[in-house]
Amino acid sequence: MAGESTRRRRRPSTGATTGTPAEKPIVVMPTSPGLRQTLRYRFDAVLSRGPMGVIVLLLAATLGFVLLASLVFALANMHYGGDTSGFGEDFWQSMLRVLDSGTFASDVQWPVRVVSLIVTLSGIFIASALIGIISTGFEQRLEALRRGRSRVIEAGHTLILGWSPRVFSIVAELVVANESRRRPAIVILADGDKTALEDEIEARVPDLRGTRVVLRTGDPSSPQDLERVAVTQARSIIVLADEGGDGDAGAVKAALAAHSMATDAAVPIVVELASPATVFALVAACGDRVVPVQADDIIAKVAAQACYQAGLGAVYRELLDFDGDEIYVTPVGQHAGKTFGDVLLSYERCAVLGVQLADGSVELVPAMGTPLAVDDSLLVIAEDDSLIRPASHRVDRPAPAAVPDHGDTGAPSRLLVIGWSDLGHKIVHALDVLMGTSATMRILVDPTLIDPQSISVSAEQMSVDVVADAGIGDVATGDYDQVFVLGYRGHIRYGDADARTLLTLVTLNRVVSDLERRPRIVAEVLESRTVPIAETTGVDDFVVSDELASLLISQLAENPTLASVFEQLFADGGATIAMQPAARSVVAGEHSWGSIVLALRDRGDVAIGFRREGEPVVVNPSPVGSVAIDDATDLVVLTRRPLVSA
Digit-coded pLDDT (tens) for 593-616: 999 999 999 889 999 999 988 888
Same-domain status, 432 and 525: yes
Digit-coded pLDDT (tens) for 420-444: 988 888 888 888 887 777 788 889 9
What is the CB neighbour count within 10 angstroms for residue 467?
A: 13
* Distance (Å, whole) CA 251 – CA 130: 47
What is the pLDDT averaged over residues 202-226? 92
In a domain, 358, yes or no: yes
Helix-then-strand count for the chain, H and E: 18, 22
Digit-coded pLDDT (tens) for 236-253: 999 998 765 567 889 999
Of 549, 584, 612, which residue constitutes the final position of a domain?
549
CATH number at residue 112: 1.10.287
In a domain, 300, yes or no: no
Cβ burial 556-576 (10 Å sphere, 16+ → b, else e): bbbbbbbbbbbebbbeeeebb
What is the CB neighbour count within 10 angstroms for residue 515?
A: 13
Instruction: Answer left, alpha or beta for residue 360, where phi above 0 means left and psi between -120 and 50 means alpha.
Output: left
What is the CB neighbour count within 10 angstroms for residue 21?
A: 8
Per-residue confidence band for 77, with pLDDT thresholds at 50, 70 and 90: confident
Same-domain status, 540 and 424: yes
What is the pLDDT averaged over residues 247-268? 91
In a domain, 561, yes or no: no
What is the pLDDT averaged over residues 554-566? 90
The whole-angstrom distance between residue 462's C-alpha and the CA centroid of its chain comes to 36
Beta strands in 303-413 (DSSP E): 326-331, 351-356, 362-364, 377-382
Per-residue confidence band for 5, with pLDDT thresholds at 50, 70 and 90: very low
Q: What's the confidence (pLDDT) of residue 572?
A: 74
Residues 6+ apart with CB under 8 A from 279: 273, 292, 294
Same-domain status, 167 and 267: yes
Same-domain status, 276 and 168: yes
What is the pLDDT averaged over residues 295-319? 84
* Distance (Å, whole) CA 488 – CA 523: 12
What is the pLDDT averaged over residues 317-334? 88
Q: Above 80 in pLDDT, residue 4? A: no
Digit-coded pLDDT (tens) for 216-231: 999 999 999 999 999 9
Same-domain status, 56 and 121: yes
Per-residue confidence band for 368, with pLDDT thresholds at 50, 70 and 90: very high
Q: Considering the chain, what percentage of its residues have pLDDT values greater than 90?
A: 31
Report the number of distinct structural domains present in the chain: 4
Q: Above 70 in pLDDT, residue 582? A: yes
Q: Above 70 in pLDDT, residue 105? A: no
In a domain, 8, yes or no: no
Same-domain status, 250 and 328: no
Cα dihedral 47→51→57→60 (10° resolution): 180
Same-domain status, 533 and 579: no
Q: What's the confidence (pLDDT) of residue 457?
A: 82
Residues 6+ apart with CB under 8 A from 530: 498, 501, 502
Of 123, 147, 171, which residue constitutes the final position of a domain?
147
Per-residue confidence band for 31, with pLDDT thresholds at 50, 70 and 90: low
* Distance (Å, whole) CA 595 – CA 585: 12
DSSP state of 196: H
Per-residue confidence band for 36, with pLDDT thresholds at 50, 70 and 90: confident
In a domain, 505, yes or no: yes
Same-domain status, 242 and 127: no
In a domain, 409, yes or no: no
- Which of 440, 577, 554, 487 is closest to 205 using CA atoms? 554
Strand partners, 379: 329, 354
Digit-coded pLDDT (tens) for 446-483: 999 988 888 888 787 788 888 888 678 777 777 888 89
Same-domain status, 528 and 584: no
Same-domain status, 138 and 167: no
* Distance (Å, whole) CA 272 – CA 553: 8
In a domain, 372, yes or no: yes
CATH number at residue 482: 3.40.50.720
Same-domain status, 510 and 431: yes
Same-domain status, 478 and 453: yes
What is the pLDDT averaged over residues 35-42? 76
Q: What's the confidence (pLDDT) of residue 377?
A: 94
- Predicted TM-score (pTM) of the model is 0.77
In a domain, 471, yes or no: yes
Per-residue confidence band for 11, with pLDDT thresholds at 50, 70 and 90: very low
Per-residue confidence band for 113, with pLDDT thresholds at 50, 70 and 90: confident
Containing domain of residue 631, as a range?
310-403+573-639
Per-residue confidence band for 329, with pLDDT thresholds at 50, 70 and 90: very high
